[in-house]
Amino acid sequence: MDALPPSTGSCHAGRETMLSAARSAGKSAVLERLASDYPQGPHDQPQSMCPAFGSLRVGLRMRRVATILCGSACCVYGLTFTSHFYGARRTVGYVPFNSETLVRGQLYEDIRDAVYALAKPADLDAIVVINLCVPTASGVPLDRLPKQIDGVRVIGIDVPGFGVPTHAEAKDVLAGAMLRFARLEAEQGPVARPRGASDLPTVALLGEIFPADPPGIGAMLAPMGLALAPPTPAREWRDLYGALDCAVVGAVHPFYTASIREFAAAGRPIVGSGPVGLEGTEAWLETIGLAANISFEQRDAARAKALPAIRAALEANPIRNRITLSGYEGSELLTARLLVEAGAEVPYVGTACPKTEWAQADLDWLESRGTHVQFRASLEQDTQAMLEVKPDLAVGTTPLVQKAKELGIPALYYTNMVSARPLFGAAGAGSLAAIVAAQIGSAPRFARMVSFFQGVGTEATAGYGTTGVPTEPAGFRDRQRKMRAAKVKSESAVGT
């Protein structure tokens, strides 16, 4: 194993340095696969939380699965903190390293020992090991770990911030790796039956969705004689077999490229979009029904059952405002469709996720209604759109919401407020209007706050008790300039 050179051995080394170290350490194939699955956008580095959180979260939410991180202590601290902030209630495993164990290759041995110590078939179905930035750049070869130890599967994945642009796509890195493992197992012979498996043909939903949504979607599918398969990301190992055994995949989150590859390899048809709003639900039920070879009568019965309730919910909860929407969950286009169907004007949607063919139907629908959709949107693009459009409500990420509130624009945090509500069917159609109205109703309060705090705590007056422009110590800049010049001179003298 070629370790990251000591002079660059940290995640502060910069993206290009990390990439070139990873390539020379034998990770070229991994990086090429990541680059093709998750193409970079205008911003080539994550602008939200550490991407590896997505993989970690998927591992931690599965029963009888242990998840081990391998990375710098500061990264692991942040990821562990965030996991527990979001209620993981599970142990996050950690194999630490130092410069010596990294450079000598001892780290791989330490990971291997940890995996062997943990692999108790009475407790676990699988162990997930996640390489963070520095071990990936150093070429720690997780692919050399044993595939199984006493029946406990071992899945090693590289999830570097310089290769996976968002934490949403990192969910797919692990989900796809697990589906691949399960698919190859199923191809070898009989596998465990998922709990509560249906005898009906099933639809496997792809993407983390609000827990109340699947029962509603299941009810919409029932008239077609279809049931729901276990969702992906899975909650239990045997659920992976159930998902792979589906009649059709509903890629409600369209960026799960690696997972879709596995479903396609299993011969399953894939359908994009989701049952959102009236037109969205009608189109989705039709496409799913056709993909599953359901008769016209049954498709018609499904429409007749689902659509009146959605129409009534939309009519009872109209939204008559201008709204911009941005996020990194992957459901932004679906949410925008629902807002537009409820009557909102949505001139801009930004998503940190990439454009894939499974997003095309939603993209076409939104563009035909005058919405500009920005894939791989950067915070700067989202902010600029909000400034230009001057919406009644900005739905977005934390920094965007902060900026909006500074300007007195009512704003909603997408992850906690919007994606934590039902989105699909009649429940979704009725859920958004209330929070939109409540937040827009607070516009006068925002205006009062802006005028009250005008000029306080900004620019030179930022910080407690600072009221004027701070004065610079005499000669400070000059001394610093001379020190820098002397350092450059001394370094060039020894030829470093």
Closest to ligand SF4 by CB, 50 or 377: 50
Q: Angle of helix 277-291 relative to helix 425-440, nearest 10 degrees? A: 150
CB 141 within 8 A of CB 108: yes
Give 11 or 288: the residue with its C-beta nearer to ligand SF4: 11
For ligand SF4, give the closer residue by CB, 141 or 161: 161
For 418, list phi and psi in degrees, rounded to 5: -95, -50
Judge if the upstream peptide bond of residue 233 is cis by omega within 30 degrees of 0.
yes
Cβ proximity to ligand SF4, 102 vs 302, nearer residue: 102
Type and span of the H or E element at 67: strand 65-70
Angstrom distances, CA of residue 73 to CA of 8, 135, 141: 16, 12, 19
As measured in angstroms, the least distance from the Cβ of 132 to ligand SF4 is 4
What angle, 0 to 180 degrees and rounded to 10, lies between the N-to-C axes of helices 257-265 and 237-244? 60
* Minimal distance, residue 164 CB to ligand SF4, in Å: 9
Please name which of 232, 201, 199, 200 lies closest in space to residue 214, comparing C-alpha atoms.
232
For the CB of residue 469, give the shortest distance to ligand SF4 in the complex, in Å.
Answer: 35
Nearest by Cα to 158 from 309, 324, 34, 10: 34
Instruction: Please check whether residue 26 is in contact with residue 144, taking contact to mean a CB–CB distance below 8 angstroms.
Output: no
The nearest distance, CB 47 to ligand SF4, in angstroms, is 11
In the complex, the smallest distance separating the C-beta of residue 27 from ligand SF4, rounded to whole angstroms, is: 14
Strand duo 152-158 + 148-149: pairing? antiparallel
How many Cα neighbours within 13 Å face the side chain of 172?
27
CA 413 to chain CA mean position, Å? 15
Taking CB atoms, the residue at the shortest distance from ligand SF4 is 161
CB of 89 to ligand SF4, least distance (A): 22
> Would you tell me which residues interact with ligand SF4 (CB under 6 A)?
11, 50, 52, 71-72, 75, 78, 132-133, 161
What are the DSSP calls for 106-135, one per residue? HHHHHHHHHHHHH--TTT-SEEEEEE-HHH
If the CB atoms of residues 174 and 221 are measured against ligand SF4, the closer one turns out to be: 174
- Asked if 103 and 80 count as a contact pair (C-beta separation under 8 A), the reply is no
Residue 122 CB, shortest distance to ligand SF4, in Å, is 32
**Minimum CB–partner distance for residue 160 and ligand SF4 (Å):** 6
Of 166 and 371, which CB lies nearer to ligand SF4 in the complex structure?
Answer: 166
CB of 440 to ligand SF4, least distance (A): 36
> Would you say 270 and 262 are in contact if contact means Cβ atoms under 8 Å apart?
no
**CA separation for the pair 267, 488 (Å, rounded):** 62
Nearer residue to ligand SF4 within complex by CB, 181 or 328: 328
4: left (phi over 0), alpha (psi -120 to 50) or beta: beta
Q: Pick between residue 51 and residue 233 the one whose CB is nearest to ligand SF4.
A: 51
Please state the closest distance from residue 51 (CB atom) to ligand SF4, in A: 6
Nearer to ligand SF4, 50 or 221 (CB): 50
CB 206 within 8 A of CB 252: yes
| Nearer to ligand SF4 (CB atom), residue 134 or residue 340 | 134
Decide if 78 contacts 86 (C-beta within 8 A): no
Smallest distance, ligand SF4 to C-beta of residue 54, A: 11
The tokens of 119 are what? 């692999």
Single-letter code of the amino acid located at 159: V
Q: Kindly tell me which of 38 and 348 has the beta carbon lying closer to ligand SF4.
A: 38
Strand order in the sheet with 148-149: 92-94, 65-70, 126-131, 152-158, 148-149
Q: Backbone phi, then psi, for 408, in 5-degree steps?
A: 80, 15
Min dist CB 31 to ligand SF4, Å, is: 14
Report residue 455 as tokens: 């000029």
Q: Cβ closer to ligand SF4: 77 or 296? A: 77
Answer whether 379's CB lies under 8 Å from 46's CB.
no
Question: In the bound complex, what is the minimum distance in angstroms from residue 75's beta carbon to ligand SF4?
Answer: 3
Tell me whether residue 5 or residue 78 sits nearer to ligand SF4 (CB atom).
Answer: 78
Q: How far, in Å, are 79, 336, 356, 387 from residue 432 at the CA level?
A: 31, 11, 26, 23
d(CA 310, CA 292): 23
